[in-house]
Amino acid sequence: MRNEMAASKDKLMADFRAVILDAEELLHATASQAGEKVSAARGRVQESLLTAKEELQHIEAAAVDKTKVAAHATDTYVHQHPWQTAGIAAAVGVVIGMLIGRR
């Protein structure tokens, strides 16, 4: 379930980056367009893009921080409980082996 959530988050982040890149391309493509309404719209889009980029950076930084904390906690647990970790790994290996063997 966590892997599905992580994959969903990764896809969302990739989609968000794609939208930002597309919007930037659109701004560059319309740079030669004149007019008050076009200029106002470009200004709003640029502000929105800047906000979106900043938010994306914050989200990515938070994800990296959480990953580091989880990795450190896992490392600490493995060092404090090596035999339990080996037992859990062996049990998971047996279950995966049984599932593969059934096919």
| Domain that includes residue 31, residue range | 2-101
Give the 3-state DSSP-derived string for the chain, with helices as H, strands as E and coil as C: CHHHHHHHHHHHHHHHHHHHHHHHHHHHHCCCCCCHHHHHHHHHHHHHHHHHHHHHHHHHHHHHHHHHHHHHHHHHHHHHCHHHHHHHHHHHHHHHHHHHHCC
- pLDDT (tens digit, 9 = 90+) per residue, 21-76? 777 777 777 777 777 777 777 777 778 878 878 888 888 888 889 999 999 999 99
Q: pLDDT by residue (tens digit) across 77-102?
A: 999 999 999 999 999 999 999 999 88
Specify the pLDDT at position 75. Answer: 92
| Model pLDDT, residue 1 | 58
The tally of domains found in the chain comes to 1
pLDDT score for 68? 92
**pTM passes above 0.75:** no
